[in-house]
Amino acid sequence: MWIQRRIDLVARPRGFHLITREVVEALPALAQLRVGLLHLLIQHTSASLALNEDASPAVRHDFESWFNAAVPEQAQFWTHRLEGADDMPAHIKAALLGPSLTLPIADGRLALGTWQGIYLCEHRDRGGARSVLATACGQSAQSDMR
């Protein structure tokens, strides 16, 4: 069984934002899968996805602080500045974290660890709305009965 859906996320400010609930709510058909995989691809070059600690907001703040220090906006060596000072650093941050996640599905649910959540990593001050293409495949619970 294959499922594919584009998930449109509202614009968020720069930072690391939990989107696990939005992803799950946008994919009710996951409940039909006994076992499978969910692949998420953010369709942008200045935002990324990550899987990490979902309980403490301090973790998301610390991620943002570290990335801003590691990839500074005012570096003299940036030459790509067409869309503002945050543009090239956003591309670098997105490349470091990556555009996709592949997550296991077990018994109709994402099989994440106890403290794991899906992050939208917004690297622009005003990145705008973002789209995530979700593709799931797996064995449906009904196919076990055949």
Give the model's pLDDT for residue 142.
Answer: 77
Closest-CA residue to 93 (of 58, 125, 68): 68
Give the model's pLDDT for residue 2.
Answer: 97
Give the model's pLDDT for residue 143.
Answer: 66
Give the model's pLDDT for residue 145.
Answer: 55
CATH topology of domain 12-127: Jelly Rolls (2.60.120)
List the alpha helices (DSSP H) in 48-113: 57-70, 87-97
Give the model's pLDDT for residue 33.
Answer: 97
Give the model's pLDDT for residue 144.
Answer: 58
User: What's the burial of 64, exposed, middle or buried (CB within 10 Å: 0-12/13-18/19+)?
Assistant: middle
Question: How much is the pTM?
Answer: 0.94
pLDDT in tens, 47-81: 999 999 999 999 999 999 999 999 999 999 999 98
What phi and psi values does residue 122 have, to the nearest 5 degrees?
A: -90, 115
The pair of structure tokens assigned to 26 is: 């946008």
Listed as ranges, residues in the chain with pLDDT below 50 are none
Closest-CA residue to 125 (of 46, 43, 8): 46
